[in-house]
Amino acid sequence: MTSDVPGIAANGLNMPALGLGTWQIAPETIAEIVPVALDAGYRHIDTAQIYGNEEAIGQALVDSGVDRSEVFLTTKVWPEHYAPNDLLASVRQSLERLKTDYVDLLLLHWPVFGGRGMNPTLEALLRARADGLARHVGISNFNIDQTEQAVAFCGPGTLATSQVEFHVYLGQERLKRVLARHNLVLTAYMPLAKAHSVNDPVLWEIGAQYGKTAPQVALRWLVEQDRVAAIPATSNPHHARANIDIFDFALSAEDQTRIARLARGMRLCQPDGLAPQWDD
């Protein structure tokens, strides 16, 4: 049995520290994995307009019988919908697909704004929240300078989280310090480094002390950090159950240090035309 997933509170947000990522998970697989995840104790599900699985997630949640208020649901606006009127229309379409009146968290997926700059899009994001389409708003894949600009425009306490790639092989120390200064949660996608961490001997050696696997150690290392959540994506029921089974042990300070030393700047997600100039 897994322990209850703790929540992370910041800027009015209360988000489960571990969620189910759904990138590259096909709709037919969503119908199978979401019930397993909910049964295992997940109450945080992350998707995006570009993933093509919002409708399947919405149907799976309806079919589950779990009350909507118990599930923290995130989606992300794709850059082609960043024009203010289009953004609001696209969010309403997402809500129709998700079969809900609101999402708990709405993010801008990539910092790609063309010649008009980011402020009109940020204003539309805030309008989505004001209109009740989203309870919280945030950003994704913004570098430090873009993050500072977004916070300055939106105002302190307005943005809730920044979703970025973060795992044992990619340190995010500078960005973490910036987010902490503004009280934003860092939500880690690809928290298992696309399965690179699965065979790491250091993680397995540490895990042996606790009766845990290398991926469980990698996830535990993330969620033990201040204001860090993780959203591992999987279509495997066994992995989904194992990924959430990380709240019944704690890493020693020595183990945390050993894991931190694994960082080597391994960035796995940097699509041409979307990725900004990273800080590391």
Spell 164-186 as b/e; 16+ CB within 10 A means b. Answer: bbbbbbbbbeebbebbeebbbbb
Vertex 11, ends 118 and 153: CA angle to 5°? 25
* φ/ψ of residue 204, rounded to 5: -65, -40
Residue among 245, 186, 254 nearest 217 (CA)? 245
- Enumerate the H helices of the chain as residue ranges: 27-40, 54-64, 84-98, 119-130, 144-154, 173-181, 201-210, 214-223, 237-244, 253-260
Query: What percentage of the chain's residues is helix, strand, coil (to nearest 5)?
Result: 45, 20, 40
Cα separation, 210 vs 135, whole angstroms? 38
Report yes or no: 204 and 214 within 8 Å, Cβ to Cβ: yes
Other residues' Cβ atoms within 10 Å of the Cβ of residue 56: 24
Annotated active-site residue 82? The verdict is no
Cα separation, 104 vs 108, whole angstroms? 14
Catalytic residue among 42, 51, 169, 189: 51
Residue among 111, 115, 145 nearest 125 (CA)? 111
Instruction: Extract the tokens encoding 137.
Output: 């708003």
Report yes or no: 251 and 219 within 8 Å, Cβ to Cβ: no
Residues catalogued as catalytic = 51
